[in-house]
Structure 1
Amino acid sequence: MSDVTELIRLATEARDRAYAPYSNHPVGAALRTPSGRVFSGCNVENAAYPVGNCAEQAAIAAMVLGGEQRIEEIVVVGPGNAPCTPCGACRQRMREFAGPDMVFHACNDRDVLLTMTMEELLPESFGPENLK
């Protein structure tokens, strides 16, 4: 497993730029692809609450825009010290670009609080290979 320090730093920076005036729950995400490239994103809320974008969704969109399509490892940093785990929609979004062994870390701005694989986050998941 890679050193997550840089991913925590980037996810924290993203969280600190999040636009979350309605929930007051800023979230940042940073992911690493197998090639070593890193992409980050933050949540962006909307007055038509709950319409908005999750941090994981934003990081995945940046990854796809950057020409990558595989997540090896992802860090999510929320507010406070409780683990901020992905919503169901983001678990499925991550699954689209990850195998069962992808590593997820829920972190605060300093440390890893929880580590799980994609399989643990979304057991018996439906993915692209189910449509082949």
Structure 2
Amino acid sequence: PRSGTVRAARLLAEIGDSRARFPTPEALACLAGVAPSTRQSGKLRSVGFRWACDKQLRDTVTDFAADTRHVNPWAANLYNRARTRGHDHPHTVRILARAWLHIIWHCWQDHIAYDPTKHNALQRLLNPNQQAA
């Protein structure tokens, strides 16, 4: 939703066409800089912003994610839930971008197009207690 020709081309250019490059959706999320970075040593553990990443890919994915919340009820719901948990806007957009990258990765690996009706049906099945948006 709302990817458009230019944004879709930019996503494809940044991700590339080698499916073997990203064995898991987390590998793609880490390269895009939308997965949190954990630093730990002995007794100390810190989870924070991932600085080491592909900046252009992060910009592309977060731009896409921020825009989808205006037209996709699932994305708007995820964004609003993260905001009510106290996250600021940039952090919330990264949370949403990470969720979208999981979806994009699965569609890419399975050679299928994104179908919002299937995705919404799956979300209702996985979260029966939440109201449908």
TM normalised by structure 2 equals 0.31
TM normalised by structure 1 equals 0.31
More relative contact order in 1 or in 2 (CA 8 Å, sep 6+)?
2
